[in-house]
Protein backbone atom coordinates (compact mmCIF):
# COMPACT_ATOMS: atom_id res chain seq x y z
CA UNK A 1 0.00 0.00 0.00
CA UNK A 2 1.39 3.39 -1.03
CA UNK A 3 1.89 5.99 1.67
CA UNK A 4 0.35 9.36 0.90
CA UNK A 5 3.18 11.94 0.84
CA UNK A 6 3.29 14.33 3.80
CA UNK A 7 3.86 18.06 3.87
CA UNK A 8 7.55 18.80 3.58
CA UNK A 9 8.32 15.61 1.64
CA UNK A 10 9.46 15.40 -1.96
CA UNK A 11 6.54 15.14 -4.36
CA UNK A 12 6.54 11.61 -5.88
CA UNK A 13 8.09 11.42 -9.33
CA UNK A 14 5.56 10.24 -11.91
CA UNK A 15 4.99 10.30 -15.67
CA UNK A 16 1.51 11.44 -16.65
CA UNK A 17 -0.54 11.74 -19.84
CA UNK A 18 -2.15 15.17 -20.26
CA UNK A 19 -4.07 17.20 -22.81
CA UNK A 20 -0.70 18.88 -23.52
CA UNK A 21 1.13 15.56 -24.00
CA UNK A 22 3.24 13.55 -21.57
CA UNK A 23 4.76 15.27 -18.57
CA UNK A 24 6.97 14.20 -15.68
CA UNK A 25 6.11 15.52 -12.23
CA UNK A 26 7.71 17.30 -10.52
CA UNK A 27 10.70 17.44 -12.91
CA UNK A 28 9.01 19.41 -15.71
CA UNK A 29 8.12 22.17 -13.23
CA UNK A 30 11.51 22.55 -11.59
CA UNK A 31 12.06 26.15 -10.52
CA UNK A 32 8.32 26.88 -10.45
CA UNK A 33 5.47 26.39 -8.04
CA UNK A 34 2.67 24.22 -9.34
CA UNK A 35 -0.88 23.47 -8.24
CA UNK A 36 -2.15 19.98 -9.04
CA UNK A 37 -5.90 19.79 -8.53
CA UNK A 38 -8.26 16.89 -9.11
CA UNK A 39 -11.92 17.03 -10.10
CA UNK A 40 -14.47 14.21 -9.81
CA UNK A 41 -15.50 14.04 -13.47
CA UNK A 42 -15.69 15.85 -16.80
CA UNK A 43 -19.05 17.24 -17.94
CA UNK A 44 -20.25 18.01 -14.41
CA UNK A 45 -21.55 21.43 -13.29
CA UNK A 46 -19.38 22.11 -10.22
CA UNK A 47 -16.19 21.02 -12.01
CA UNK A 48 -17.08 23.20 -14.99
CA UNK A 49 -17.42 26.28 -12.76
CA UNK A 50 -14.07 25.48 -11.15
CA UNK A 51 -12.24 25.13 -14.46
CA UNK A 52 -13.69 28.42 -15.67
CA UNK A 53 -12.57 30.09 -12.42
CA UNK A 54 -9.06 28.63 -12.67
CA UNK A 55 -8.83 29.81 -16.29
CA UNK A 56 -9.90 33.34 -15.36
CA UNK A 57 -7.27 33.41 -12.58
CA UNK A 58 -4.58 31.80 -14.74
CA UNK A 59 -2.60 34.99 -15.38
CA UNK A 60 -2.63 35.82 -11.67
CA UNK A 61 -1.03 32.43 -10.99
CA UNK A 62 1.47 32.80 -13.84
CA UNK A 63 2.58 36.24 -12.66
CA UNK A 64 3.64 34.55 -9.42
CA UNK A 65 5.53 31.76 -11.23
CA UNK A 66 2.79 29.23 -10.48
CA UNK A 67 1.55 26.64 -12.99
CA UNK A 68 -1.78 24.81 -12.89
CA UNK A 69 -2.43 21.13 -13.66
CA UNK A 70 -5.86 19.50 -13.58
CA UNK A 71 -6.58 15.79 -13.13
CA UNK A 72 -9.36 13.23 -13.18
CA UNK A 73 -9.69 9.55 -14.01
CA UNK A 74 -11.50 10.37 -17.28
CA UNK A 75 -9.88 9.46 -20.57
CA UNK A 76 -7.95 12.06 -22.52
CA UNK A 77 -10.54 12.29 -25.31
CA UNK A 78 -13.17 13.11 -22.68
CA UNK A 79 -10.99 15.92 -21.31
CA UNK A 80 -10.47 17.31 -24.80
CA UNK A 81 -14.17 17.24 -25.66
CA UNK A 82 -15.17 18.79 -22.31
CA UNK A 83 -12.63 21.62 -22.67
CA UNK A 84 -13.88 22.13 -26.23
CA UNK A 85 -17.43 22.42 -24.86
CA UNK A 86 -16.34 24.97 -22.22
CA UNK A 87 -14.78 27.11 -24.93
CA UNK A 88 -17.88 26.80 -27.15
CA UNK A 89 -20.52 27.38 -24.47
CA UNK A 90 -18.75 29.77 -22.10
CA UNK A 91 -16.11 31.35 -24.39
CA UNK A 92 -13.34 30.35 -22.01
CA UNK A 93 -10.22 28.53 -23.20
CA UNK A 94 -8.53 26.32 -20.62
CA UNK A 95 -4.83 27.27 -20.80
CA UNK A 96 -3.36 24.53 -18.59
CA UNK A 97 -2.90 20.75 -19.01
CA UNK A 98 -5.31 18.18 -17.59
CA UNK A 99 -4.03 14.75 -16.58
CA UNK A 100 -5.86 11.64 -17.74
CA UNK A 101 -5.33 9.30 -14.77
CA UNK A 102 -7.25 6.33 -16.19
CA UNK A 103 -5.13 3.79 -14.33
CA UNK A 104 -5.75 5.77 -11.10
CA UNK A 105 -2.02 5.58 -10.36
CA UNK A 106 -1.59 9.23 -9.45
CA UNK A 107 -4.93 9.34 -7.64
CA UNK A 108 -4.10 6.36 -5.44
CA UNK A 109 -0.62 7.62 -4.57
CA UNK A 110 -2.05 10.99 -3.53
CA UNK A 111 -5.13 9.65 -1.76
CA UNK A 112 -7.63 11.14 -4.21
CA UNK A 113 -9.82 8.03 -4.46
CA UNK A 114 -12.00 7.93 -1.38
CA UNK A 115 -13.32 4.50 -0.29
CA UNK A 116 -16.82 5.94 0.22
CA UNK A 117 -16.70 7.74 -3.11
CA UNK A 118 -17.96 4.83 -5.21
CA UNK A 119 -14.29 4.06 -5.86
CA UNK A 120 -14.38 5.43 -9.40
CA UNK A 121 -13.88 9.18 -9.18
CA UNK A 122 -11.51 11.55 -7.45
CA UNK A 123 -12.35 13.89 -4.59
CA UNK A 124 -11.59 17.58 -5.04
CA UNK A 125 -7.98 17.64 -3.91
CA UNK A 126 -5.39 20.41 -4.23
CA UNK A 127 -1.63 19.85 -3.96
CA UNK A 128 0.78 22.79 -3.93
CA UNK A 129 4.40 21.98 -4.79
CA UNK A 130 7.24 24.48 -4.49
CA UNK A 131 10.11 25.15 -6.96
CA UNK A 132 12.25 22.48 -5.24
CA UNK A 133 9.59 19.81 -5.78
CA UNK A 134 8.51 19.78 -2.11
CA UNK A 135 4.86 19.25 -1.22
CA UNK A 136 3.86 22.34 0.76
CA UNK A 137 0.07 22.37 1.02
CA UNK A 138 -2.90 20.00 0.63
CA UNK A 139 -6.63 20.66 0.54
CA UNK A 140 -9.37 18.02 0.26
CA UNK A 141 -12.97 18.93 -0.51
CA UNK A 142 -16.11 16.78 -0.83
CA UNK A 143 -17.66 16.41 -4.27
CA UNK A 144 -20.50 18.80 -3.49
CA UNK A 145 -18.30 21.79 -2.53
CA UNK A 146 -16.58 23.92 -5.14
CA UNK A 147 -13.17 25.40 -4.33
CA UNK A 148 -12.09 29.02 -3.86
CA UNK A 149 -9.25 29.97 -6.23
CA UNK A 150 -8.50 33.19 -4.33
CA UNK A 151 -7.78 31.14 -1.19
CA UNK A 152 -5.31 28.95 -3.08
CA UNK A 153 -3.55 32.07 -4.38
CA UNK A 154 -3.60 33.66 -0.92
CA UNK A 155 -2.06 30.60 0.70
CA UNK A 156 0.78 30.42 -1.85
CA UNK A 157 1.48 34.15 -1.47
CA UNK A 158 1.70 33.60 2.28
CA UNK A 159 4.15 30.71 1.84
CA UNK A 160 6.33 32.81 -0.48
CA UNK A 161 6.48 35.58 2.11
CA UNK A 162 7.15 33.26 5.07
CA UNK A 163 9.88 31.47 3.11
CA UNK A 164 11.60 34.73 2.16
CA UNK A 165 11.37 36.66 5.43
CA UNK A 166 11.31 33.88 8.08
CA UNK A 167 7.99 35.03 9.52
CA UNK A 168 4.46 33.71 10.00
CA UNK A 169 1.18 35.16 8.74
CA UNK A 170 -1.98 35.73 10.80
CA UNK A 171 -5.48 34.50 10.02
CA UNK A 172 -6.72 35.64 6.61
CA UNK A 173 -3.45 37.43 5.84
CA UNK A 174 -3.05 40.03 4.37
CA UNK A 175 -6.51 41.09 5.58
CA UNK A 176 -6.43 40.08 9.23
CA UNK A 177 -8.84 42.16 11.34
CA UNK A 178 -6.30 42.71 14.12
CA UNK A 179 -2.90 42.82 12.39
CA UNK A 180 -4.01 43.63 8.83
CA UNK A 181 -1.04 42.82 6.56
CA UNK A 182 1.59 42.77 9.32
CA UNK A 183 3.80 39.71 9.67
CA UNK A 184 4.28 37.72 12.87
CA UNK A 185 7.88 37.29 14.04
CA UNK A 186 9.22 33.90 15.12
CA UNK A 187 9.52 33.42 18.91
CA UNK A 188 12.77 34.42 20.64
CA UNK A 189 15.28 31.63 21.19
CA UNK A 190 16.86 32.99 24.37
CA UNK A 191 15.99 34.96 27.51
CA UNK A 192 18.13 37.86 26.34
CA UNK A 193 16.38 38.00 22.97
CA UNK A 194 13.00 37.93 24.72
CA UNK A 195 14.03 40.93 26.82
CA UNK A 196 15.09 42.87 23.73
CA UNK A 197 12.11 41.91 21.59
CA UNK A 198 9.62 44.47 22.92
CA UNK A 199 12.28 47.19 22.82
CA UNK A 200 12.95 46.63 19.14
CA UNK A 201 9.64 45.43 17.66
CA UNK A 202 5.93 46.16 17.75
CA UNK A 203 3.86 43.66 19.68
CA UNK A 204 1.58 42.67 22.53
CA UNK A 205 4.19 40.69 24.45
CA UNK A 206 7.65 39.30 23.64
CA UNK A 207 6.11 36.11 22.24
CA UNK A 208 3.64 37.99 20.02
CA UNK A 209 5.47 40.62 18.00
CA UNK A 210 4.90 41.71 14.44
CA UNK A 211 6.51 43.66 11.64
CA UNK A 212 5.06 45.79 8.86
CA UNK A 213 4.65 44.22 5.42
CA UNK A 214 5.34 46.48 2.45
CA UNK A 215 3.59 44.26 -0.12
CA UNK A 216 6.54 44.09 -2.50
CA UNK A 217 6.47 40.76 -4.29
CA UNK A 218 9.26 41.89 -6.63
CA UNK A 219 11.68 41.07 -3.81
CA UNK A 220 10.53 37.46 -3.54
Q: Residue 151, Cβ neighbours under 10 Å: how many?
A: 12
Catalytic option among 47, 99, 125, 129: 47
Based on the residue annotation, tell me whether 47 is a catalytic residue of this protein.
yes
Distance between CA atoms of 166 and 164, rounded to whole angstroms? 6
**Long-range residue pairs from 89-95, CB within 8 A, at least 24 positions apart, any chain:** 90/48, 90/52, 92/51, 92/52, 92/55, 92/56, 93/55, 94/51, 94/54, 94/55, 94/70, 95/55, 95/58
**Catalytic center residues:** 47
Amino acid sequence: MNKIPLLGEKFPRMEVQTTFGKKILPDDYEGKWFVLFSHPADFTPVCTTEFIAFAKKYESFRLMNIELIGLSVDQNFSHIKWLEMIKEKFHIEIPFPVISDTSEGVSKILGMIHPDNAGTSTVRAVFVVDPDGILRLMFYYPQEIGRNMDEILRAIKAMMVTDTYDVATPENWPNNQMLKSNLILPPPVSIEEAKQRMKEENGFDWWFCYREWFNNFDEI
